[in-house]
Amino acid sequence: MSKIRVLVGTKKGAFILTSDGKRKQWEVSGPHFAGWEIYHLKGSPTEPNRIYASQTSGWFGQIVQRSDDGGKTWDTPGGGAAPSPDGMPRGESNKFVYEGEVGKHLWYDGTQHPWEFKRVWHMEPSLTDPDTVYAGVEDAAIFKTTNGGKTWQELPGLRNAKGNLWQPGAGGMAVHTIVLDPKNEKRIFVAISAAGVFRTDDGGQTWRPANKGLKSPYALPDPDAEVGHCVHRIAMHRSRPGVLFMQKHWDVMRSDNAGESWQEVSGNLPSDFGFPIDVHFHEPETVYVVPIKSDSEHYPPDGKLRVYRSKTGGNEWEPLTKGLPQKDCYVNVLRDAMAVDALEPCGIYFGTTGGQVYASADSGDSWDAIVHDLPSVLSVEVQTLP
C-alpha cells in the first residue's frame, strides 16, 4: 500500500506528517529547524527520499537544507551554514548572487531601489533529475542548481522582462510560484507578486510576460499593462500543460493557451480574493480555492472556513464544509499551503495561519484536522510514496 508524506513549513520550523494509504492515522515528526522560518519544503518527484527545505531567519539569513532519507537527517549542500546545538549557525550560508547588470526596480513611491537577496520563497525540483532544482527568491529572481544545492546560478533573463517596472506586493516582491511543463522541459512558468506571470520556452535564458487579459484597475491605470499584476498562485494539471489556473489578488482566472491570454472563472464564489489554487490529481477540470474576505481582511467570509471546488474548470463552484469550522474562524490559508496527493480517491491538504493542517481523503467531500496547534503554516507539499 502506498504511503503519504506531508511536508509542512511553518513560521517556527518544519514538520513531516506520514500515513499509510488509508490516510486515517498520522505520525508527526518535528519541529525540524525549530525556531527558523521554513518558507517551503519540496520533495523530488524522481527520488522519494530527497527533500529540499528553505530555512531562513531575519537574523542569520538564508540556508538551503537537503535530506536524502525522507527528513530523518539534514545537511547543507556545499558546506554552508548549519545550526549548532545552541541554535547558532556554523560557516557561511548558501550563495545566491544576482548576475549581470543588477540595475534597480521601481518602488511604490516612484523611487528606484537596488535588487536585494532576502530569502528563498519556493523550491521546485526537476521532474527528471533529483539534483536539479529551481529556487524562486525575494527580491524577485529565479536560481538553478544542477548539483543538489551545492552551488546556485541565477537565470538573469527573467529580470530582463521589464524587471525595472516590477513592484512589491504586501508580502514583498518574490518569485513565489514555479511551474514546470511535464511535456517540455524547457518551458517554465513563474508568478511574481506584484509583477505577474512570466514564461520561458528556452530553459530560462529568455522570458516574456504572460498576462494578457489580466485586469488590475486599482493598481494599474493602463488596462493593457504587461506587468504589475499581483498574481498569488498558478497551477497546472500534468496531463494538460497548456491549461493554467490562477488565483489573483482579485479574480480566479484560467488560460487555455499556456498563458497567452486569460479569462475570469470566479463565477459564484462568495469572494474572488484568496491565495492558493490547486488541481485534482486525476481530474484536470476539478479545481480548488479557499476564498478570503478581502485584501484587508485576511480571513474566510462570515468566519466560515470553506474550500470551494469546481468540477467544470471554473465559474460553477461548490462549498466544501464537512469537518471544517463554520463559526468564528478567522485564519488565513497562504499561497503555498495547499497540495494534492496521487492516490485514488485524490487527497487534498491545506494548512492555516492558525496552525492546523486539514486533509481530505475523498477529494474534498469531508475534512479532518490531521494536526493542531502548529506555528503559522507557510507551505504544504505532499509526496505519494510506493
pLDDT at 83: 42
| Backbone phi and psi for residue 164, each to the nearest 5 degrees, phi listed first | -65, -15
Strand partners, 200: 188
Q: What Rg, from alpha-carbon coordinates, does the chain have?
A: 19
Lowest-pLDDT choice from 85-94, 144-153, 172-181, 336-345 = 85-94
pTM tops 0.75: yes
Percent of the chain at pLDDT exceeding 70: 95
User: CATH number, domain at 34?
Assistant: 2.130.10.10
SS3 163: helix
pLDDT at 87: 41
Torsion of CA 312, 316, 321, 326, to 10 degrees: 160
Lowest-pLDDT choice from 150-164, 311-325, 361-375 = 150-164
pLDDT tens for 165-197 read 898 888 889 999 999 999 999 999 999 998 999
Within its chain, how far is the Cα of 229 from the centroid? 17
pLDDT tens for 207-259 read 999 999 999 887 777 878 899 999 999 999 999 999 999 999 999 999 999 99
pLDDT (mean) for 322-335 = 98
Confidence of residue 268 (pLDDT cuts 50, 70, 90): very high
Nearest Cα neighbor of 312 from 373, 212, 245, 381 is 245
pLDDT tens for 61-93 read 899 999 999 999 999 987 654 443 334 344 445
β pairing state of 82-83 and 89-90: antiparallel
pLDDT tens for 9-42 read 999 999 999 999 999 999 999 999 999 999 999 9
pLDDT (mean) for 356-383 = 98
> Looking at residue 177, what DSSP letter applies?
E
d(CA 47, CA 40) in angstroms, rounded, equals 18
Q: How many structural domains are present in the chain?
A: 1
pLDDT at 90: 41
Strand partners, 244: 236, 255
Within its chain, how far is the Cα of 230 from the centroid? 14
Q: Are 376 and 1 in contact (CB under 8 A)?
A: no
Percent of the chain at pLDDT exceeding 90: 81
| Backbone phi and psi for residue 64, each to the nearest 5 degrees, phi listed first | -105, 125
pLDDT at 86: 38
pLDDT, averaged across the chain: 92
Domain extent at residue 110:
3-385
